[in-house]
Amino acid sequence: MAHPRATAPILRQACRLQPSAPRRNINTSLFYITNSQRAAPRALTSSTVTAQQTSSLRHHSTTSSPSSPLSSSSSVSPEEVAHFNALASSWWDPYGPSRLLHQMNPLRHDFIRECIRDGVPSTAPSHNIQDLLPRTYLDIGCGGGIFAESAARLPTTASVTAIDPSAEVLSVAQAHARQDPVVFERLQYRQASIEDLAAEAAASEAKTGQPTLYDMVTLFEVIEHVATDPGAFLDRCGRLLRPGGWLVMSTMARTMTSWLTTIVAAEDVLGIVPRGTHDWNKYLNADELEAFFAPGAPASKTAVWQNARFQGVVYVPALGWKVVPGGEKLGNYFFAIQKADTSR
């Protein structure tokens, strides 16, 4: 099997940014949202993140479709939607408030390739890594489309469905996608929630016996922002994944290090992330996240999960994002888990 680095030139092309205006200084204070509840972290216990927290949801997680109002069971927070509506126009500015997401994107693809390569049984025939890459993606909480566009550009991709709660951010995403005919043909944006898609899949299965399922479901920088129980949210995400597919995400551990780096330093001191973006109390430690897929957990009721993987990453000023072994115990990290194919 070819090493995943063999596809690096293709991914560099997929992750490319469209030509943009010359670099300029961004006054990120224009995007700040006051949060009177900002405080130092509480004691680190598994009960810190509760199933009923309903505060901040960011640009990512899901939203209800325009035809249906938000309900108490929705994973969407209107306050967070408003927060990221304000950032919509700057989404594709590589030096703007979303610049850390642009810089992280190549590492997302690296992590996905490594998961797919290492998830192939040793007894399986040798394959080129490109033959194993997903053909269909569901990107939940897509924002302006940084990952969704790059996935659509891959030659192995047939289609990408990307959902987000923010109408304004999606408008920017759609306008940007039109600049690339390949992306525009393969990528569909929807203002919809995970609840909407789960309901549609159930209706499709009842009518045709075949729900709409995807080879890969991604939620980058999403889970720590949902307004409902993370376990129930992940269960809905998993139901949209085909057997053998991967659920891939990124989030942050709830540690003193992450509070200092992602909130105090990134938001309050350096201003490289708009203030009010994160709620430290909703960060998830690696063991908490993996527990959502353990036997008896919500996501295990309809599926068997295997091959859980973690990869810690850290942002180094002037150098960008770097992989740090064991970093999932400190701050930012990727997580992936495979839905077992029990039909074999």
Could you tell me the mean pLDDT of each successive run of 10 residues in the chain, 344 residues long?
Answer: 45 50 33 33 35 34 40 54 57 82 94 90 70 94 95 96 91 94 96 91 88 95 85 93 96 90 81 77 92 91 93 90 91 95 80
Cβ contacts of 179 within 8 Å, gap of 6 or more: 18
Beta carbons of 242 and 250 less than 8 angstroms apart: no
Q: Is 225 annotated as a binding residue?
A: yes
Beta carbons of 64 and 192 less than 8 angstroms apart: yes
Q: Is 145 annotated as a binding residue?
A: no
Residues 222/227/231/236 CA torsion (nearest 10 deg): -80
Q: Is 242 annotated as a binding residue?
A: no
Beta carbons of 99 and 321 less than 8 angstroms apart: no
User: What's residue 74's pLDDT?
Assistant: 64
Q: Is 290 annotated as a binding residue?
A: no
Secondary structure class of 181 (helix, strand, coil) = helix
Beta carbons of 197 and 163 less than 8 angstroms apart: yes
Tell me the sheet residues that pair with 136. 159
Q: Is 328 annotated as a binding residue?
A: no
- Map tokens 């126009």 to a residue: 89
Beta carbons of 333 and 252 less than 8 angstroms apart: yes
Backbone angles phi, psi at 257, to 5 degrees: -60, -45
Contacts of the segment 317-322: beta carbons below 8 A, 24+ positions apart: 317/270, 320/103, 321/100, 321/103, 321/104, 321/107
Assigned architecture for domain 48-120+128-339: 3-Layer(aba) Sandwich (3.40)
The percent of the chain in helix, strand and coil, each rounded to the nearest 5, is 40, 15, 45
User: What's residue 123's pLDDT?
Assistant: 64
Helix (H) or strand (E) holding 216: strand 214-220
Query: What region does 241 belong to: left with phi over 0, alpha with psi -120 to 50, or beta?
Result: beta
Q: Is 309 annotated as a binding residue?
A: no
Backbone angles phi, psi at 126, to 5 degrees: -70, 135
Q: Is 254 annotated as a binding residue?
A: no
